[in-house]
A and B are shown apart, each in its own frame.
Chain A
């Protein structure tokens, strides 16, 4: 990035607890998160509202969502828009918001991610989630995202001789981290034995190796440098890197996230950092098997050894690479279009040194997001 471009800061954050919010609508959730975020900024007015939402057109039969959310909180007279890129929606919306400030077009961008998944029966939710795949050939044939991850899981265990009890521990890790986090959905320990005896989702994936049905909204204000008022709280949004891969079936290697590898290489080059400079990471672990694949594709461990750092305790808050310090997708929850915004807020809390599972003296944090099986990957680099 050249010096000509504006620097981007996160100046305010707001979020709701992740939960099955039976008594709150999608608009209500967004309202609460935005209100909390703007309150931190003494109700400073944004120049534009960017909404991230993946399933509202499916589960709430609601389009034009960004306009409704803006009008509902009386942010009229300014533009609004919605971004949808499946599970990557939040990161893609953030990329739009980041570009608005980088380009100098706007000075304060309000970004809100919201998802309300508990409005319909579970089968409607499964149908909505399956819409992230190519409808004409995957969904038509009854192929679901969990079926594809199950195939990847089996191939991984077979190729590298890794046992399921090793991989399932990533879910236990998430639960352990979420226990003292106010906004997390699940605050109870989840031992590996309990995971492996839970019902089968898509063999070998057990129900407790996957994310829950989550409702939630999270909002952040992105601002240009001249708009930063509270320097102790502002966190720099240093770089956003997105990359796409071929659909799973066209890949030579099912067990390597090429889109993640290339977006990480680009980020390291642009920000002049190396793996060891990252003080903590928030990853998109929609299924336990995703975690080792993410760590291996980023070069943190050798292929087939993605669980080793976990077993060594290196993903704890004082380890070499603290990971999912607020519970990850499994225990914090996965309100699809809002998830990446929650991750960014969690990273912001770490860099403000206000996190519950505080990493000692963090300087650089990384947020990872993806759609499907790394069909697209996003990395968001934050600095103190």
Chain B
């Protein structure tokens, strides 16, 4: 991965910017260029809520190279409070503490590094809400 592709996507990754189709009243994350339902190309950029409910989760034992040193790590399917579904890593949590239905919030986190002297890649992960929300 090079820096242009990183810079290009960072606002969507850091701030959870989705694309919204007014015709279908649907939000798409990852963001899309056209609505997969009606084909509308005039999609609006909207910020997703940074809080939601964990629908279910798994943990990954066979990662890709970028995440080699992080496995096993937890991946969850989250329903954000506006109903948008997102798949994300869960962090700051022990596997034993997880259960379906807990409240989770988005946090800014390091994803992986490109060797000792390469770029450090950041993004969004989710963690159990620190205070009840």
Contacts and interface: CB of A to CB of B under 8 A. Distances in A.
Interface in B46-104: 55-68, 70, 73, 75, 77, 85-89, 100
B30 interface: yes
Interface string A192-227: 000000011111110000000000000000000000
Contact of A154 (B36, B58, B85, B87): B58
A295 B60 CA distance: 27
B56 A158 contact: yes
Interface stretch (A47-55, A133-141, A354-362): A133-141
Interface in A108-158: 122-124, 126-127, 130, 134, 136-144, 146-148, 150-151, 154-155, 158
B125 to A, nearest CB: 8
Contacts of B66: 127, 139, 142
Contact of B60 (A122, A123, A202): A202
Given A249-B85, A249-B86, A142 B67 contact: yes
A213 to B, nearest CB: 11
Given A123-B68, A142-B67, A203 B30 contact: no
Contacts of B75: 142-143, 147, 150-151, 202
B82 to A, nearest CB: 14
Contacts of B111: 140-142
A136 to B, nearest CB: 6
Contacts of B65: 123-124, 126-127
A45 interface: no
Nearest to B35: A250
A288 B14 CA distance: 35
A246 interface: yes
B28 interface: yes
Contacts of A130: 64
A249 B60 contact: no
Contacts of B123: 140-141
Nearest to A135: B1
B15 interface: no
A126 B64 CA distance: 5
Contacts of A199: 61
B36 A144 contact: no
B89 A151 contact: no
Given A140-B111, A140-B123, A142-B60, A148 B28 contact: no
A142 B85 CA distance: 17
B22 interface: no
Given A123-B65, A140-B111, A203 B85 contact: no
A144 B85 contact: no
A126 B63 contact: yes
A359 B116 CA distance: 58
B66 to A, nearest CB: 7
Nearest to A155: B56
Contacts of B100: 158
Contacts of A246: 36
A79 to B, nearest CB: 34
**Residue from B1, B26, B58, B67 with most neighbouring chain A CB atoms (10 Å):** B58
Interface of A: 122-124, 126-127, 130, 134, 136-144, 146-148, 150-151, 154-155, 158, 199-205, 246-247, 249-250
Given A122-B62, A130-B64, 7 more contacts: A123-B64, A138-B87, A141-B87, A201-B61, A202-B60, A203-B58, A250-B28
When A and B form their complex, which 9 residue pairs have the shortest distance between CB atoms, in order from nearest? A150-B58, A137-B30, A127-B64, A147-B75, A142-B67, A246-B36, A154-B56, A202-B58, A130-B64
